[in-house]
Amino acid sequence: MDFGIILAGGKGKRMKANKPKPLFEVLGRPMLEWVIRACENAGVSELCIVKGFCGEQIDTYLNGRYTTVLQAEQKGTGHAVQQAAEFLAKDTSGSTLVLCGDAPFLDAETIAQAKAQHDAQGNAVTVITANIQNPTGYGRILRTENGISGIVEEKDASMEQKAITEINSGAYWFRTGALLDALNSLGCENAAGEYYLTDTIAILLSKGEKAGAFCTENTDVILGANSQRDLLELNTLARMREIDKHLDNGVVFTCTDGITIEPDVEIGAGTQILAGTILRGKTVIGENCNIGPNCIIEDCNIEDGVQLNYVQAYKSTIEANVKIGPFVHIRPNSHIKQGVKIGDFVEIKNSVIGEGTAVAHLTYVGDSDVGKKVNFGCGTVTVNYDGIIKSRCVIGDNCFIGCNTNLVAPVKLGKYVYTAAGTTVTKDVPDYSLAIDRGAMTVKEGYSLRKFSSKIEYKDKK
C-alpha cells in the first residue's frame, strides 16, 4: 500500500493571520486541497495530514476525509513526519509520498513519474527536484554517478554548493520501511537545531540503501507562499494559467482585468468573458455566451447563447438564450428556462421561471413556480415569508402581473390571469380572470395648502 504524508502544520508568521498557512486559498481552493487532489489524481488516496498551528481548523476543513496527526512543537520537517509513524506502521511494504501542504502546483503527473523512477531504480528514497535560475533559499541536490549523496540546506551550504541550481522541491518518495528506520535515527545537529527530513538521505545511504532524484520539468512545483505577497503571486500565476487553458479551448477574452476563473469551471467555445467576471466552483457555461462585465457566477449550469451583464448567480440553472441584467441577483435553487428576459434590479430566489417569461425590472420573485410567457410589471413582489414559514406562489402561463402587485403566498394564479396595478393578491385566481384590489380612494381637498402654506407662498413669490 502506498501512503501520502502532507505537512500542513506551518504557522506562516509573515501571513499575519490566525489560521494555518496551507488553508490560504489559491483560486478559491486552499493550498492544502490542491496538494490533496494531486495525490488523489496520482492514485495516492491513503493520506495523513500533519497539523500544527490552529490544527482544529485543518480538522474542520477536512471533515473526516483523511487521518490527521498533531505536531505540537515545530521542530522541523523530519519531526513532522515522525508524528505519522504509527500511521505508516500499518503497512511497511509499500511506498510513502511526503509533500508540503503549501505547494499548490505539484501536479499528479510529476508524482506518478517520480514514483515510476523510484520503483525502477529500486531506491529507498527519491527526491523530486527542479532546476531554477535563482536557487537562493532552497536545499541543494548533491548528485553522484549512481544517484545523489544528499541535500544541503542553504544555511549549511558552502559557497560551491550554493552555486548548484538543482534544488529540493520538498517532495519525496520513500520505501515506507526504510523511511521508518531512518526517522528513528534523525538528529538535530545543524544550524537551526531542527530534525531535517533531508537528513534521512544520508542515513539511508550509510545503511547501503540507494537514493535518487527525479528532476521535473514543472519548475512551479517549488512555489509556495510565506507571505501575503507570495500568495498574491501564486494566485496571479494560477489565474493566468486558467485563462490560457480557456483561450486554447476557444473562449474569448478581450481583456483579462479582474477576471478570475476557478479550476473546476468549464466554458464552451465562442463564449466571451468580460472584465471583472468571477467564475467559481463547478460552474459549466455553454457555447456562444456573453458573460460580464462584473458577473459573479458560482456552481451554476449555463446553457448556450446566454447573456449575463452585472449578474450574481449561485447554484442555479440558466437555460439557452436567456438574457439577464444589469444588476440582477439569482439566488440558489433557481431554474431560469429558455428565452427568459430579466432586467435591472431583479432578484430571483428558489424559483422556476418558465420559457419566454419577462421580468423587466424592480421585482422580487421568491419561492415561486412561474409558467411560460408571463409578464411581470415593475415593482412586483412575491410575499413568500410570513415571519414563521416560507410558502410558494404558482403563476400560470401567459399571466400579466401589473405594476406594484403583491402576491401573498401561498397563492395560485391560473393561466391568462391579469392583476391590476397596485393589487395585493391573497387568494387563488382562476383562469382568464382579472384580480383588482385598490380599495376606495379618498381625496382631502386643501390638505397641502394647509400643511405647507408658508412654503407654497414662498415658492409662488419666486
In single-letter form, the type of residue at position 165 comes to T
Q: Give the integer Cα–Cα distance in Å for 56 and 359.
A: 47
Which three cell numbers mark 165? 541550481
CA of 1: how far to CAs of 65, 165, 177, in Å? 18, 34, 12
Q: Which one from 246, 329, 335, 361 is the annotated catalytic residue?
A: 361
For this structure, is 79 an active site residue? no
Residues 434, 416 contacting (CB under 8 angstroms) = no
DSSP-based three-state secondary structure for 56: helix
Residue type at 41? N
The whole-angstrom separation of Cα 243 and Cα 3 is 34
Cα angle 109, 21, 200 (rounded to 5 degrees) comes to 60
Contact 264, 242 (CB under 8 A): no
Cα(459)–Cα(449) distance, rounded to whole angstroms?
A: 12
Element containing residue 365 per DSSP (H, E): strand 363-366
Look up residue 14 and give its three cell numbers: 509573515
What's the grid cell of residue 419? 392583476
Grid cell digits, residue 36: 490533496
The catalytic residue positions are 361
